[in-house]
Structures are given as structure tokens and as C-alpha cells.
Amino acid sequence: MKLKNKACTLGYYYCPVIKIALRSRDSKVLDILHKQYGGWIDKERKHPNGQSPSRCWVFKYKKHLSEILKELYPHLFIKKKQARILMDFIEAGAVKTRNQDKMNKERIALDSKREILYKKILTLNHRGVLPAETE
């Protein structure tokens, strides 16, 4: 997720999140994930077009996100690319210097890398036909 924050250098920050949504009748898996890793389960969501209701497990505690992704990665098929990008995002880390000039350069490089990874995730998660890009 990309969240607005005026205190941040660019006016926003990135918050890596895992979300797994399933139909309510299959939601035992979500209960197992919740019990094993924590996070939370959103309330049941009803769909107006007659589809089965769904529930969603959400985990966004950055400290443990990498461990969970590594455990879930071998079992993913459809969202494997997204998981790999999220792992790359987390591995990019944070700026680790106290020198202000060096920190600003590293921050710009890190932010641009994160923006690229964020856009890749958005593209992969997009449903339907993508709009044509113009320059």
C-alpha cells in the first residue's frame, strides 16, 4: 500500500501488506493463517451479484512479513510474482547512514526502487484490461 504522510520526504510511504481473500465456505484456511501468524480477518463481505460471501486475512507487520512470505511462497501459484516483488521490496531495506548528504542520495535511490516495485505490483494486481500508457 502507498499511504499519504506529509512528514515523509515524498509526502507518502509504503506499507507492505499480505491479503488473502477466500469465499466464506473455504475460510478455514484464513482461520489457520490467523492463528499461526496473527494479523486480522476482515468481517465477511457480501457480494451483490450473487457470488458467495468472502473473508480476507490481512497481515502488515513488517517485522514478520518476510518470514511469512518465505513460508507461503512455495505454495503460491497465481500470486507468486507478487510475492517475489514484495520480498524484493522488503529486502531493499532502509537507509542506513547518518551522513545527511549520503542519506538523501540513498533515500532517493531507495524510493525510486520502491516506486518501481510498487507499480509492478499494481500492474499485476489490476483486473481487466490495462489502459494504454502514453508519454
Which DSSP symbol is given to 21? Answer: E
Angle formed at CA 69 by CA 63 and CA 73, multiple of 5 degrees: 170
Tell me how many domains the chain contains: 2
How much is the pLDDT for 17? 85
How much is the pLDDT for 132? 60
pLDDT along the chain (135 residues), means of 10: 62 78 81 91 80 86 84 90 89 68 76 86 77 58
| Helix/strand/coil percentages in the chain, nearest 5 | 50, 15, 35
Residues 42 and 72 in one domain: no
How much is the pLDDT for 84? 92
How much is the pLDDT for 73? 92
How much is the pLDDT for 9? 59
How much is the pLDDT for 19? 86
Angle formed at CA 91 by CA 114 and CA 83, multiple of 5 degrees: 80
How much is the pLDDT for 81? 92
Is the residue at 92 inside a domain? Answer: yes
Residues linked to residue 21 through DSSP beta bridges, in sequence order:
56
How much is the pLDDT for 99? 65
Residues linked to residue 45 through DSSP beta bridges, in sequence order:
54
Three cell numbers written together for 56 = 480476507
Residues 56 and 38 in one domain: yes
Residues 51 and 66 in one domain: no
Residues 52 and 75 in one domain: no
Residues 68 and 51 in one domain: no
Tell which residue, 116, 110, 85, 117, has the closest CA to residue 95: 110
Is the residue at 9 inside a domain? Answer: no
Domain range for 86 is 62-127
Give the three-class secondary structure for 101: helix
How much is the pLDDT for 10? 61
Is the residue at 8 inside a domain? Answer: no
Three cell numbers written together for 28 = 478455514
Residues 121 and 68 in one domain: yes
Residues 94 and 119 in one domain: yes
Residues 80 and 117 in one domain: yes
Residues 86 and 108 in one domain: yes
